[in-house]
C-alpha cells in the first residue's frame, strides 16, 4: 500500500489502524478475577504536519477500576532499534476510565505491524505487576512516503 498525502502547514493528520477489540467498551456487570484490567480501544500513528513528527498512539479502556497511583506503562516497538523499545509511563491520578498513551517522536516507520506492550503495575515502584496486555498495530504507511522532512 502506498500512501500519498499533502499536509498543509499548521495542520495535523492522524492515520489510525483500529484494533477491533474493545471499541467503545466500558466495564459493565460484575468484575471477576478473569476480567482484564485494560483493553485496547484503538491504536495508530499520528503524522503531525506542523512539526513533521510521527508518534505511535494507543487508547485503552479500563475494565477494572485503576486506583490512584497505578502505573500504566507502554513499550512501543522501536522501528530503528529492535530490542530497544520506546517506553512511556502514566501514573493514574484519579478515576480514569480511558487512557491515551503517546510515544515520543519516532523515525523509520514502515508499512508493517508494531507491538505495543502495556504493563499495569500496582504502583510506580513496579514491584507488583498486575497484568500485561499486548496489541499489534499495523502501520498503514511507510514514513518515507511522506518525503524527506518526515524521515
Q: Judge whether 52 lies within some domain.
A: yes
- Measure the CA–CA gap between 86 and 102, rounded to whole angstroms: 10
pLDDT in tens, the chain (151 residues): 333 333 333 434 444 443 333 333 344 445 556 678 999 999 999 988 898 899 999 999 999 989 999 999 999 999 999 999 999 999 999 889 999 999 999 999 999 999 999 999 999 999 999 999 999 999 999 988 887 776 6
Q: Judge whether 4 lies within some domain.
A: no
pLDDT recorded at residue 33 = 63
pLDDT recorded at residue 31 = 54
φ/ψ of 150, rounded to 5, equals -95, 0
The whole domain housing 83 covers 12-150
Give the number of domains in the chain. 1
pLDDT recorded at residue 49 = 86
Q: What is the DSSP string of 78-120?
A: -SSSTT--EEEEEE--S--SEEEEEPPPB----SSEEEEEEEE
pLDDT recorded at residue 151 = 61
CATH of the domain at 47: 2.60.40.10
pLDDT recorded at residue 61 = 96
pTM given for the model = 0.78
Amino acid at each position: 500500500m502506498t500512501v500519498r498525502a499533502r499536509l498543509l502547514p499548521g495542520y495535523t493528520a492522524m492515520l489510525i489502524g483500529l484494533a477491533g477489540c474493545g471499541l467503545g467498551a466500558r466495564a459493565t456487570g460484575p468484575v471477576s478475577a478473569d476480567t482484564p484490567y485494560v483493553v485496547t480501544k484503538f491504536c495508530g500513528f499520528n503524522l503531525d504536519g506542523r512539526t513533521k513528527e510521527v508518534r505511535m498512539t494507543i487508547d485503552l479502556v479500563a475494565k477494572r477500576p485503576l486506583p490512584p497511583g497505578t502505573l500504566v506503562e507502554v513499550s512501543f516497538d522501536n522501528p530503528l532499534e529492535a530490542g530497544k523499545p520506546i517506553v512511556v509511563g502514566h501514573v493514574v491520578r484519579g478515576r480514569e476510565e480511558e487512557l491515551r498513551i503517546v510515544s515520543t517522536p519516532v523515525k523509520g516507520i514502515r508499512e508493517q505491524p508494531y507491538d505495543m506492550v502495556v504493563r499495569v503495575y500496582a504502583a510506580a515502584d513496579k514491584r507488583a505487576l498486575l497484568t500485561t496486555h499486548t496489541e499489534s498495530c499495523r502501520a498503514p504507511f511507510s514514513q518515507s512516503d511522506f518525503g524527506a522532512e518526515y524521515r
